[in-house]
Amino acid sequence: MSRGLSTSIAVVVTLAVIAAASAVWMYPVRWELGGPGGLVFWALIVALCAAAPVRMPNGSLVNVTIAPILAVAVLGGPAAVAVVSLVGSLEWRELRSLLPGGEARVPWYGVLYNQASILLPAVGAAIIYDVLSAGTATTSGWQLLAVLIGGMFYFAVNNALAALAIGLRMGRSPVQILTANVRQFGVMLAGLTPVAWLMATIYAVAGPVGILPFALPLYTTRSGYQKVVEIRDMFTQTVKSLASAVDAKDPFTAGHSVRVQVIAKDVGREMGCSEDELEALEWGGLLHDIGKIGIPDAILLKQGALTRHERIVMNGHPVKGEEIIRPVAKLAPELPIIRHHHEWYNGSGYPDHLVGEEIPKLARIMHVADAFEAMTAARPYRMTPLTEEQALGELHKYTGIQFDPKVVAAFVRVLDRRPSWATPTAPPPLPGRRIPQLGETEAQAA
């Protein structure tokens, strides 16, 4: 665990303990909650909402506990919400980690941080509601506004703390993670804030029975999160299937695109790419060679030097790849990667002879990842792969010529911090495979 993460855990947990103690000391539980029985009832509601969180692509866990937690803030005040959020939001994976002999899915300090990141904004939201709604009628518009403001505070702080932990643990930008979370599910969670006000209002009139109709909107919202993840996973699998079409045509490079994808994303994180850019590198890495589907086998699998005409056809695969993917609107951010991943930093690449910063940043990252993977994997023209040191030597040799110096520097930093990128054993050489031409670099031959 990094020092920054351990410090963040200590600070957040300490603030949560202070907030809980202050809430219990200063704010009595209001009678609208229904006494101890009401505390138990709402703790169970929160526990049900927390029982099946949805893991988003960036690692965040999302549930619908915001609605019942804010309802408790309205009905019982800061002290009640401190107790309910602490007890009810404990997930099963966390509970199993704390039980004797249970599987430690979450370390104890992770459980503390997770609970603190819920309790702290919940108490803050309850205090904000109390201050803004003092002296107003239960069903007044001002009270609804107070719930909305408190809900915005809860959502912002809770997600900021979650993004901070994920960022420190995974070496990513917490700001970018938070931005992605707000964009992905912020609107849906914001829609649960007025639901919380309705839950509190109806509970005050009808008691626990009045909460039953709210099971549908809460379940629907949770299902919406799950559908987002499922659709993205399905789309990713579709992209992988497209990439495998190249492997089927050229099985010697099977797995090349997947490994390029992993390397490119690691370098992208090192360079501070946004979540959208990392997603573009993920899918662009899988599809960067998709245009080779349109290259005749007589050229793609040719052994020996290509003729000038054959070289022109081979160098057209980035443009063909762009043409294949262009109709898919969702993959529009990947088009510059596919088209320009063979551009050289000095302008002598293809297809558009772009120079330096004219080359899209993600394409420059992909070019380095593609070249390194090709050099460290076996090929029919070079059955013994280059070592990482030899491949790095090639990258440094062509830095400023073929490769962006900033991308190469970021690549080296990543490689110094992590284990080697595994390259599986290549299949036997296929007959008729092309060998590099005289003067062609290892990266060009890939």
CATH at 146: 1.10.1760
The number of folded domains in the chain is: 2
What is the average pLDDT across 232-236?
81
The residue type found at 260 is: V
Q: What global pTM score does this model have?
A: 0.70
Taking only the tens place, the pLDDT of each residue in 24-38 is: 999 988 888 888 999
Judgement on whether residues 178 and 292 belong to the same structural domain of the protein: no
pLDDT band at residue 426, thresholds of 50, 70 and 90? very low
Between the ranges 199-208, 369-378, 415-424, where is the mean pLDDT highest? 199-208
Judgement on whether residues 226 and 274 belong to the same structural domain of the protein: no
The residue type found at 7 is: T
State the pLDDT at residue 432.
Answer: 37
What is the average pLDDT across 30-48?
89
Task: Please report whether residue 243 resides in a domain.
Answer: no
State the pLDDT at residue 368.
Answer: 95
State the pLDDT at residue 124.
Answer: 94
Judgement on whether residues 205 and 257 belong to the same structural domain of the protein: no
Task: Please report whether residue 242 resides in a domain.
Answer: no
Strands (E), 206-328: none
Q: How far is CA 121 from the centre of its chain?
A: 23
Cα–Cα distances (Å) from 225 to 65, 174, 184, 211, 268, in that order, read: 13, 21, 9, 22, 26
For residue 144, the tally of other CB atoms under 10 A from its CB is 19
Domain final residue pick, 230, 259, 289? 230
Task: Please report whether residue 245 resides in a domain.
Answer: no
State the pLDDT at residue 385.
Answer: 77
Task: Report the alpha-carbon distance of residue 299 to residue 368 in Å, rounded.
Answer: 25
Judgement on whether residues 266 and 166 belong to the same structural domain of the protein: no
Three-state DSSP class for 379?
A: strand
What is the average pLDDT across 246-270?
81
State the pLDDT at residue 406.
Answer: 96
State the pLDDT at residue 233.
Answer: 83
Q: Is pLDDT larger for residue 42 or for residue 230?
A: 42
Judgement on whether residues 135 and 284 belong to the same structural domain of the protein: no
pLDDT band at residue 347, thresholds of 50, 70 and 90? very high
Judgement on whether residues 33 and 152 belong to the same structural domain of the protein: yes
Q: Is pLDDT larger for residue 156 or for residue 187?
A: 156
Judgement on whether residues 176 and 272 belong to the same structural domain of the protein: no
State the pLDDT at residue 444.
Answer: 45
| Ramachandran bin of 347, using left for φ above 0, alpha for ψ from -120 to 50, beta for the remaining angles | left
What is the average pLDDT across 185-211?
84
From the number of C-beta atoms within 10 Å of its C-beta (0-12, 13-18, 19+), residue 280 rates as buried
> Which residue(s) pair with 55 in the sheet?
61
Which residue range(s) make up the domain with 322?
Answer: 250-445
Tokens of 359: 């080359």
The residue type found at 299 is: I
Task: Please report whether residue 237 resides in a domain.
Answer: no
Read off the CATH number of the domain in which 342 is found: 1.10.3210.10
Task: Please report whether residue 52 resides in a domain.
Answer: yes
pLDDT band at residue 268, thresholds of 50, 70 and 90? very high
Judgement on whether residues 348 and 273 belong to the same structural domain of the protein: yes
Task: Report the alpha-carbon distance of residue 181 to residue 69 in Å, rounded.
Answer: 20
The per-residue pLDDT of the chain, averaged, comes to 82
Judgement on whether residues 262 and 411 belong to the same structural domain of the protein: yes
Judgement on whether residues 324 and 181 belong to the same structural domain of the protein: no
Answer yes or no: is pLDDT of 172 > 90.
no
For residue 297, the tally of other CB atoms under 10 A from its CB is 10
State the pLDDT at residue 254.
Answer: 66
Judgement on whether residues 127 and 259 belong to the same structural domain of the protein: no
Judged by average pLDDT, the poorest of 12-16, 246-250, 306-310, 418-422 is 418-422
**What share of residues in the chain are helix, strand, coil (percent, to 5)?**
70, 0, 25
State the pLDDT at residue 2.
Answer: 76
**Tokens 């839950």 — which residue?**
199
Task: Report the alpha-carbon distance of residue 160 to residue 163 in Å, rounded.
Answer: 5
Task: Report the alpha-carbon distance of residue 80 to residue 77 in Å, rounded.
Answer: 6
Taking only the tens place, the pLDDT of each residue in 93-141 is: 766 666 665 555 677 788 888 889 999 999 999 999 999 887 555 556 7
Torsion angles phi and psi, residue 55, rounded to 5:
-85, 120
Task: Please report whether residue 10 resides in a domain.
Answer: yes
Torsion angles phi and psi, residue 194, rounded to 5:
-65, -25
State the pLDDT at residue 69.
Answer: 93
State the pLDDT at residue 441.
Answer: 45
Judgement on whether residues 373 and 268 belong to the same structural domain of the protein: yes
For residue 185, the tally of other CB atoms under 10 A from its CB is 20
Percent of the chain with pLDDT over 70: 83
